[in-house]
Amino acid sequence: MKLRNLEYLIQEAFIGIWRNGIMAVAAVSTVALSLAILGVFLLLVLGSHRFVERQLAGFEVAAFLPREASQEDAEKVRDTIAKLPLTKNVELLSRDKEWAEFKRKMNTKIDLGGVTDNPLPYALHIESKDPRKTAALAQQIREIPGVKRVADAREDYRVVRAVADLVKLLGFAASVVLCLTTVFIISNAIRLTLFARRHEIRIMQLVGATNWFIRIPLVLEGIILGALGAVIAVGLVAVSLEYVAGLVVRMLPPTLRDVSSGVSHTQFIALLVLGGAAIGALGSFISIRRFLKV
C-alpha cells in the first residue's frame, strides 16, 4: 500500500464521520453511555473488593501470658513471635496503659475500688502477613512456651471471609456480563451505521475496490468513534464520581468511607479509551464482513 493511499484512507475515515453525522453521533453516544456505566460499575466492584480485603487484613491474633510472667519473659515471647515467618507485626501492650483503660471503661459499671494491684497479664497483638493464614499463625503462637492463651477471632473471620468471597464472586460475574453487554451494544450501534451505508459499500465493490480498500476507512472510523465515545465516558464517570458518589460516601460512617478502587486516574482513562478504540475496531471489522459478502 502506497503512502498516498494511506493518507487518502485516513482522510476518508474523517470525511465519512463528518458526512454521516447523525449516525456518528448515535454511535458515539452509545459508546459513551455504555462505557460510562461499565466504568462506574468496575470502579465500584474494585472498591468493594479492596474494602473487604482491608477488613480481612484487620484481623489480629492476641496472645496472653500467665499473670506471673515478667516484663523480661514477655519480651522474650515477643521476639520469638517476631521471628515466625507469618508474622507481619507484633506489639507488646503496656500493662499499665491497658489497666488504666480498663478502669476508665468499667468504672461506671462495676466497682473496682477493692482492686489495687494490676491484675492484667502481659498481652501481645500480632498481625499476620496473610490474613488467610491467621489461624495457622495462632496455632504456632499457641505452641510457644510461656504463652498461656491465644485468641484469633476465628468465627468472626470465617463470616467476614464468606461475605468477602461472595462480594468478589458477584462483582466478577456482573462485570463479565456487563462487559459482554457493552461489547454487544456497541457493535450493534456500529452495525447500524454500516447498514445505513451498505449501498455505498456495494457500489465501491462494483467499481473495483478491493475489500481492504473499503474496510480500512470504516475500521478507522470505528476506532475514532470508539475512542471519542470513551473520552466522553471518562468525563461522565468523573462527574458522577465527584458529585454523586461524593454525596453517598458522606452519608456513610467514617470506617466505611474509604471505598476508593486503588486504580490511578491515568490507568483508568487509558483502559477506557483503549477499550473503546478496540471495541470500535473489532465491532467494525466484524460487522463489515457481513456487508462485504457478495
Minimum distance, C-beta of residue 273 to another protein, in the bound complex (Å)? 28
Q: Is 21 in the site for another protein (CB under 8 A)?
A: no
102 near another protein, rule: CB under 8 A: no
- Which one of residues 41, 99, 195, 213 is an interface residue with another protein (CB under 8 A)? 213
How many residues bind another protein (CB under 8 A)? The answer is 23
Pick between residue 177 and residue 209 the one whose CB is nearest to another protein: 209
Separation of alpha carbons 82 and 291, rounded Å = 69
Q: Is 207 in the site for another protein (CB under 8 A)?
A: yes
As given in the structure block, the three cell numbers for residue 58 are 484487620
Q: Which phi-psi region, left, alpha or beta, contains residue 61 (left: φ > 0; alpha: ψ -120 to 50)? A: beta
CB of residue 232 to another protein, shortest distance in Å:
25
Task: Check if the beta carbon of residue 215 is closer than 8 Å to that of residue 285.
Answer: yes
209 binds another protein per the rule CB under 8 A: yes
Does 294 sit near another protein (CB under 8 A)? Answer: yes
Residue 280 within binding range of another protein, rule CB under 8 A = no
Nearer residue to another protein within complex by CB, 5 or 70: 5
Q: Cα dihedral angle (235, 239, 240, 243), rounded to 10 degrees?
A: 170
Helix segments in 240-294, DSSP class H = 246-251, 265-292
**Closest distance of CB 283 from another protein, Å:** 21
217 closest CA partner among 7, 10, 5, 2: 10
Which residue type, as a one-letter code, is found at position 275?
G
106 lines the binding site for another protein (CB under 8 A): no
Which of 9, 13, 38 has its CA nearest to residue 197?
A: 13
Which x/- pattern over 40-79 shows residues binding another protein (rule: CB under 8 A)?
----------------------------------------
Q: What is the DSSP letter of 130?
A: S
Contact 173, 113 (CB under 8 A): no
- Residue nearer to another protein on the CB measure, 4 or 109: 4
- Cell triple for 288: 463489515
Q: Is 20 in the site for another protein (CB under 8 A)?
A: yes
For another protein, the closer of residues 3 and 159 by Cβ is: 3
Helices (H), 21-153: 21-57, 71-83, 95-106, 134-142
Q: Does 195 bind another protein (CB under 8 A)?
A: no
Q: Which of 16, 171, 226, 275 binds another protein (CB under 8 A)?
A: 16
Judged by CB under 8 A, which stretch of 22-30, 199-207, 236-244, 275-283 contacts another protein? 199-207
Q: What is the dihedral of CA 255, 257, 259, 264, to 10 degrees?
A: -120
Dihedral pair phi/psi, residue 64, rounded to 5°? -120, 140
| Binding stretches for another protein (CB under 8 A) | 2, 4-5, 8, 15-16, 19-20, 197, 199-200, 202-211, 213, 294
